[in-house]
Structure 1
Amino acid sequence: MEDQGGFIMSDRVDVAIVGAGAAGIAAARSLASRGRSILLVEALPRLGGRAHTDRIAGVPLDLGCGWLHSAERNPLAALAEARGEPLDRRRSAWHKQLRDLGIPAGEQRDAWAAYERFGEALRREPPPSDRAGDALAATDRWRPFIDGLSSFMNGTELERLSVADFLAYDDAASENNWRLPGGYGAFIVSLARELPIALGTRVTSIAQGRDITLETSGGPITTRAAIVAVPTTMLARGTIRFAPAVDDHLHAAAGLPLGLADKIFLSIADPDSVPPESHLLGRLDRAATGSHYIRPLGRPVIETFLGGAHAQALEDEGEAAAAAFAIEELRHLLGADFARGLTPIMATRWAHEPTIGGSYSHALPGRADARKLLRTPVSERLCFAGEACSPVDFSTAHGAWESGLAAADWIERGLRREKA
C-alpha cells in the first residue's frame, strides 16, 4: 500500500506516529525537521482529528476546536501569526445574554455569582472525594446552571469531574481566547503539508522487539520507534493491542474519558435581524440547554453548543435531533418568525465517530494523576501523546500540540542513545 506522500508500507522508518491530529502533526513536523524518516498513520480519511474545519457555501466552519485558548502563550497562536494567518482577538460574547432575552439581568448576575462562589469553594475546601458535584448540593438552585456550564467547558457534568483536574486547567488558563477566521482545523492541517501520511489506515497492534511492528489495515509497518497519539477512548476500548502489554497506560486512559461537546450550525434567513458576535444561553434552570453563539465573525450562522449527557442523548436520538432542539430553544428566545428562517447546515456527532468517541478529555474523580502516567514514556522507543497528556492544557489543541513536541523530543533522545 502506498500513501499520499509516496511511502510504501513495506519501507522501514525511524518513527511511526499513530494519529494525525494536532499532537501527531506536531510530533511528525519536529522529527522530520531533525532529518528523521517518519510516517503519520491516521484511521480517518482526513487529517486533523478533532481539529476539523469544513467549508460550507464558501464559509469555513470549525466543527471541532475553534478558539486559541490562553492565546498569549499558545504556541499555535504564535505560529499562526508568524505564518501571516489573520487572527481575530475580540473577546468572546458568551457571558452576555443578548437583550436579556429569556433571562432577566438580575438572574444572570445571581447565576454567575453562584458560579464564582462554587469555584471559590472548590479551592478553599475541595471535597475529599475529589468529585466536583460533592461541593454543591443537588438541590441548590444554581446546580443545573453550573452543571450546564461544566458540560460546555468540560464535556461532562459535575458528578464525573475531578476537582484537582478542573483546578489545574482553570488556574493555568487566561481570558485571552482568539480565533482564526480561516479555520483552526484548516490551519492545523496546513501544518502537515509534505509529511508522509497514510490516511484511512487503522492500527490494530503495536509490538516491540528489535524493531517495532505496527499491524494495520493497510499492512505491517516496521519502525525504530513509535508515538501513539489517539484519543483516550480508543485506548481504553482496546482498539490497539500492545506487546508487551501497557496496562498501566491503558488504565490511565480509562480514567481520562472524552467528554462530549457537539456543535450545530444553523443558517439565518435574515442575518441583519440579530447583531453579530452576540450570544444566548437557552435556560438557567436546567443543564439540558444550548449555548447559542450568534453570527460568529459576522457570518450568517448561529453556532450552537451542546454538552455532556444532554448532547449524548441527542446524538443517540438521531442525526436531526440536535438541530431540532436548538431551533426550538431559539424559537422560545427569538420568536417563531425568526426560528422559521433557521436551516440546519451542519451538526457534529463526536461520540458516534468510531475512531474518536468524544470531544476532549476530563479526569474522573480521583484520577487526575492519570495524566502524568499516560504521558510517562513506555520505553525509549514508545510513548503516548495527545491533549489528555497535557498537565494543564488538556482539552485544547495547543495542549495536544505541545504534548506532540514533548513526545518527539523523547523519541529523538532515545534514537540518539541507540545510535551511540
Structure 2
Amino acid sequence: MSEIRTKVCIIGGGIAGLKAASDLTSYGIEVVLLEARDRLGGRIFTDRSGLAPYDMGASWFHDTLENPLFNLSRRKSHYLHYNDDEPMILTSSGPVSRNDKLPQVLKEMLRFNESRFFESLDAPDRSLQNMAYEYIHQQRDLLTDTQVRLVPELVRDLELWHGIAWQSMSAKYAIIDHQGRDSYMGSGYDTIIADLEDTIPKRSVKLQEIVTGIERSHAGVRVHTSSGVVQADYVVVTVPQSVLSLAETETGGIKWFPSLPKAITDALSQMSFGSLGKVVLEFSEAFWPSEDKFLCLADPDKATVQKLIPVPWEWPVNFFNMTLIYGVPTLVALLQSPVTNYVEQHPTKAWALLQPMVEQIAQASGSTATPPTKVLVSDWSVNPFSRGSYSAAEPGNDPTDIIVQLSEGLNRVRFAGEHTIGEGAGCVHGAWVSGQREARHILVREGLVEVSDDD
C-alpha cells in the first residue's frame, strides 16, 4: 500500500465502520477503510455452508420499537422471525413444571435487584450471583425448595446475554431493558453488510491491513499499517473495545502518538469484555419439542465451582430451535465465558459438552437424540481482532464513562462501535448508529450538512 492520502481513514470494517464509510461516500467524501481480516463484517459473520444461513455473531434485532436498522430491514422485506416464546426450562433431571412458578419468582428477584440501586445512587455494586443469594436468603420462608434451588440458576440466563459468568457480572448493569421485542434476522446479517458494501467504492476498501500506529496532530492524522501509511484529515476508529485496550506489542494493538489521554485509558480500564459463543448442531432429523428455545439450567450444586474444563450441566445453555425459522433440523446453542473460550479453543469437544443437554431436550418429546451431522463453532474469543463478542460490565465497572470519553473523540480522531454508545450498546444497531453519528460529525465540520440540536 506504501503511502496514500485521503480525507477520512476508517479503521475497522464492521457495521460501524461500513455505515460511516457509506454515509461519508454519499456526500462525496473520499474514504479509505482498513480492515485487518480478509473479509468485511467484523463481529457479524453468516455461515452459509450448512442447511440454512447461520449467524455466528450477531443474530437478532433488539429494541425493535426504536431500531432504525430494523426498520430499514423491514422496508427491504428481509425474512424476520420473532422467536420470543417462553422457553422450555430443563435441568439434568428433565423439564421443569410450570407449576413451580420459576419465572414469576425470577421477576421478583430482578425487581429486588433494581430496587437496591434505585434506593441510592451510591449503593455498592456486587455480582449477580451475590444478589441472587441475597434475595433467596431474604425471601426464604416464602419460597418452595424447588424455587430456592432453581431460581438462582434461572437468573443465570443473563450470562447468555452478557457473555460472562454471573460471579463476574455487575448486578447494577445486568438487567437489560430493551425497547420492543427481539427479532431474529432470518435472511442472515450478511445481507445488510452486503448492502452497505455496495455503497462504498471497492478501491476504498483495504483488507488484511493491520493498523499498528496512529499519529495525530492539529493538521491531520497518519495511520501506520502492516504495509504502509494513510495520511488523512480525519480518522474514525471502530476497532472493538477489547482491541482498543490492548498493549501496542500485542497482535492488533495500536501505538498512539501522542498517547491516548488518561481519561480514555482510565475509562477503558473500567470496562470488561464478554465472550458470547455459538455452536450450531445440524442433525438428520428434528427429535425435539416444538418450543422455539430450550433453556438448560446448571446443576445448583456445581454452579459456584468454576473449573478449567467445563462439564455438562455446570453452566446454563440456551438452545434455539431453527426448525421453526428455516424448517431445518438444527439447534443453535448460546454459550458464555468461560465456556465459550474453552469450546472455541477446542471446537471438536463441543458436542461432547452439549450432548447430555440435547439428550434431555429429546426426552422431553419422547424421542432419542442422534449425533449431529454437522457442527459449527464460533471463534470470537480466539480471533486476535475481536478477542470476544462485546462490552460487558463486571462489579464496579462504569460503562457510561467509556461511552462519554469515546463519543467525544479527540478532535480529528473519532471513535465508533457498540462500546461507544448508550442506546443500543452491545447491539448491531448501536454500532450502526455510532457510525452514522461519526460520519455526521465530520460532515458538519466540513460544512456539508447543517448543525442540529442533536450535534
Tell me which interval the TM-score lies in, with the shorter structure as reference length: 0.7 to 0.9
Residue 236 in structure 1 maps to residue 264 in structure 2: no
Change over 3 Å in CA distance of 1:208–1:58 after alignment to 2: same
Q: TM-score, normalised by structure 2?
A: 0.81
Counterpart in the other structure of 1:6: none
Counterpart in the other structure of 2:347: 319
Counterpart in the other structure of 1:131: 126
Distance in structure 1 (CA, Å) of the matches to 2:410 and 2:21: 19
Q: Which shifted more, 13-22 or 336-345?
A: 336-345
Q: Deviations over 1:302-323 (max 9, x none)?
A: 111111323233334x121223
Contact 1:23 1:402 (8 Å CA) reproduced = yes
Counterpart in the other structure of 2:79: 86
**Partner amino acid for 2:361?**
L
Q: Deviations over 1:292-335 (max 9, x none)?
A: 1122513221111111323233334x121223211232123325
Q: Deviations over 1:9-57 (max 9, x none)?
A: 6331111111111111111111111211111111111111111111023
Aligned residue-pair number: 403
Residue 114 (structure 1) shift: 3.3
**Partner amino acid for 1:306?**
L
Change over 3 Å in CA distance of 1:219–1:384 after alignment to 2: same
Q: TM-score, normalised by structure 1?
A: 0.87
Counterpart in the other structure of 2:181: 176
Change over 3 Å in CA distance of 1:14–1:101 after alignment to 2: farther
Residue 17 in structure 1 maps to residue 17 in structure 2: no
Contact 2:163 2:389 (8 Å CA) reproduced = yes
Counterpart in the other structure of 2:297: 283
Contact 1:162 1:368 (8 Å CA) reproduced = no
4+ residue segments displaced more than 6 Å: none
Contact 1:253 1:374 (8 Å CA) reproduced = no
RMSD in angstroms over aligned alpha carbons?
Answer: 2.7
Distance in structure 2 (CA, Å) of the matches to 1:259 and 1:10: 36
Question: What secondary structure does 2:133 align onto?
Answer: coil
Residue 144 (structure 1) shift: 4.8
Question: What secondary structure does 2:88 align onto?
Answer: coil
| Within-5 A mapping of 1:263-412 | 263-271=278-286, 273-275=287-289, 278-285=292-299, 286=303, 288-294=315-321, 295-297=323-325, 298-316=327-345, 318-335=346-363, 338-366=368-396, 367-412=398-443
Q: Tell me which of 220, 224, 236 is aligned to 1:215.
A: 224
Distance in structure 1 (CA, Å) of the matches to 2:360 and 2:88: 18
Change over 3 Å in CA distance of 1:384–1:146 after alignment to 2: farther
Question: What secondary structure does 1:49 align onto?
Answer: coil
Residue 339 (structure 1) shift: 2.8
Residue 105 in structure 1 maps to residue 97 in structure 2: yes
Contact 1:231 1:356 (8 Å CA) reproduced = yes
Q: Deviations over 1:99-153 (max 9, x none)?
A: x98122147622x233212221222113822224342327863465145312101
**Partner amino acid for 2:279?**
I
Q: Unpaired runs of 5+ in structure 1?
A: 2-8
**Partner amino acid for 1:79?**
L
Distance in structure 1 (CA, Å) of the matches to 2:198 and 2:33: 12
Residue 392 (structure 1) shift: 3.0
Residue 52 in structure 1 maps to residue 45 in structure 2: yes
**Partner amino acid for 2:77?**
G
Residue 158 in structure 1 maps to residue 158 in structure 2: no
Q: Which shifted more, 134-143 or 248-257?
A: 134-143
Distance in structure 1 (CA, Å) of the matches to 2:123 and 2:407: 27
Contact 2:6 2:31 (8 Å CA) reproduced = yes
Contact 1:323 1:347 (8 Å CA) reproduced = no
Counterpart in the other structure of 1:261: 276
**Partner amino acid for 1:123?**
E
**Partner amino acid for 2:334?**
F
